[in-house]
Structure 1
Amino acid sequence: MITNQISPYVKRENFVKALNSGKLLRFPGAYNPMVAMLIEQKGFEGVYVSGAVMANSMGLPDIGFTTMTEVCLFASQIARITALPTLMDIDTGFGESMNVARCIQEIEHAGLSACHMEDQVNPKRCGHLDNKTIVPVNEMVQKIQTAAKAKSDPNFMIMARTDARASEGLEKTIDRMKAYVDAGADMIFPEAMYSEADFEAVRKAVSVPILANMTEFGKSKLLNTTQLSNLGVNVVIYPVTTQRLAMKAVEDGLDTIKEKGTQEDLLDKMQTRKRLYEVLKYEDYNAFDSQIYNFKLE
């Protein structure tokens, strides 16, 4: 109800077990807690909280404007409401090694199950934009080592994301991934891969689980779950999909109201009040107070 009753420790344990199952785990992005509830109710395996989505939700571009405090609060509100493991984006770790250590401890305390940290120079940019600048390998290695030491729950998964594909080529990118695994990364996130062959090469090169980013309008081909499974991918994220769907619907709806002066023609495109209350499990709250759900919805 108000918060999910499954502890963060159990969620993390469940995530590790699911990773070890060999099945592809699907993590759609949530831009608010109610979307996370829908993701769970629709039968997905996890919830993703995108750095771009968090920035966009505050009216900001994804270029490193958000602070650790802002993203921890945003992600914790999503993680607490669902029984599923929640993976969040922590950009470049919000500073140097000591900042990374604090960030890991804050988000672990906030109930997250995993995070990923990237090897871009801060201020960073969206992983599917051109001209990204990458930090030296040893700098990222130090951050990963710090993150691994900072966590208290061994089942909290630290993912190393590398954005080096465009600037350094696949071979050097794979060398980075191997160094990140040696430094203590539990998973690898190869960002902006160009092809299925790229994923095949990554899967062959590293032994830890790997994550695929199936974001729309980016550099990676949108592979389906069968293709990803056959490539040996362990987790797939759809980071901005739900926000893009919602924003297109909102924009179209506003245009209709402006043009026609009423939302009457939009009703069949809206979630009904009844369905909203089903998603929120409104009726369950009646067990605490009979004054809450003492009405009928037509």
Structure 2
Amino acid sequence: MVLRKRLRKLVEAEEILILPGAYDALSAKLVQAAGFQAVYLTGYGQSASKLGEPDVGLMCMSEMAERTRDIAMAVDIPVACDADTGFGGPVNVIRTVREYERAGAAAIQLEDQTMPKKCGHMLGRQVVPAEEMAEKIRAAAAARGDPDFLIIARTDARTEHGIDEAIRRGRLYEEAGADIIFIESLETVDEMKRVNREIRKPTIANMVEGGRTPFLPARELQEIGYSAVIFPITTLYAAAKAVYDVLADLRENGTSAGSSDRMLCFREFNELIGLPAVRKIESGDLSAVRRDLL
């Protein structure tokens, strides 16, 4: 419960909350080590890292819940988790919420796309009727066991149906019980300002490198009115580029020695993944045992 309460307070605070994306437990540890107060489990990143496939609805609920559990166990900061469409109708959403909550999530994100869904910055996305999504939100609110478990309601209506419909849906999802409203793929700063004038609940922005939404720094998003911002694929793209470059160097030169300055060393990496705590426990010092903060 502690981490969920912490996330709620962070969202309600005056300063905008920055949530970098994590595509696995290791990247989540890096987010925490870099000093961020919360982390976002990206569905795009899970599909890429587990399946090596694009974000087109290939991950099932049990796979995503397992990834949620892995990441939540790896860090001591709140984890906000992408749950796509909830993996079905209201009955499916109830199970999804319970599984994510049991896995250690501090927040769940549900979107109004049809199944199979697509990444929110891809074209060709379709949305379900607004009332159908509102019913899912009501089901999610009823299913959670912890009142501090946040429900993020996302609409993908902007791209195909325009800003008016996207805001209408956002307000409907507010009324249905969502804690945070996420209007995806806004295309201008004026649209972003309008959303924050017309939506009463806290709002979240999505900063995707190369995506459809203006790419703004957190301080400007805060001035516009956002309570939180995710950078869902920053870590994924950075890791892919770094690994590719090191491998190219290894292939060309037959050694990784020339790339050592772009890597953590053996000691640094072992510290990152918690070896010192293991050594303490092995010596009988149980003060290093992590406590369940949820």
SS of 1:22's equivalent in the other structure is: coil
Partner of 1:235: 228
Cα offset, 1:131, TM superposition: 1.9
Partner of 2:69: 76
Query: What count of residue pairs does the alignment treat as equivalent?
Result: 283
Partner of 1:185: 178
Q: Is residue 248 from structure 1 mapped to residue 241 from structure 2 by the alignment?
A: yes
Which of residues 25, 46, 49 in structure 2 aligns to 1:33? 25
Partner of 1:10: 2
Alignment-mate amino acid for residue 24 of structure 2: N
Partner of 1:51: 43
SS of 1:209's equivalent in the other structure is: coil
- For 1:20 and 1:253, how far apart are their aligned partners in 2? 42
SS of 1:29's equivalent in the other structure is: strand
- For 1:251 and 1:158, how far apart are their aligned partners in 2? 37
Q: Is residue 172 from structure 1 mapped to residue 185 from structure 2 by the alignment?
A: no
What is the TM-score of this pair, normalised by structure 2?
0.93
Cα offset, 1:285, TM superposition: 2.2
SS of 1:288's equivalent in the other structure is: helix
Partner of 2:115: 122
- For 1:20 and 1:134, how far apart are their aligned partners in 2? 29
Cα offset, 1:107, TM superposition: 0.4
Q: Could you list the runs of 5+ residues in structure 2 that have no partner in the other structure?
A: 285-294
What is the TM-score of this pair, normalised by structure 1?
0.92
Partner of 1:294: none
Cα offset, 1:61, TM superposition: 1.4
1:169-228 Cα shifts (integer Å, max 9, x gaps): 111110110111111111101111112211111111111111000011100111001101
Alignment-mate amino acid for residue 94 of structure 1: F
1:25-55 Cα shifts (integer Å, max 9, x gaps): 0100112222222212222121001111011
Between 251-260 and 118-127, report the one with greater CA deviation.
251-260
Q: Could you list the runs of 5+ residues in structure 1 that have no partner in the other structure?
A: 1-8, 292-298
Q: Is residue 279 from structure 1 mapped to residue 272 from structure 2 by the alignment?
A: yes
- For 1:110 and 1:36, how far apart are their aligned partners in 2? 15
Identity among equivalent pairs (%): 37
Partner of 2:287: none
Cα offset, 1:130, TM superposition: 1.2
SS of 1:138's equivalent in the other structure is: helix
Between 254-263 and 24-33, report the one with greater CA deviation.
254-263
Alignment root-mean-square deviation, CA:
1.3
- On the 8 A contact 2:24/2:46 being kept in 1, the answer is no
- For 1:257 and 1:63, how far apart are their aligned partners in 2? 33
Cα offset, 1:290, TM superposition: 4.0
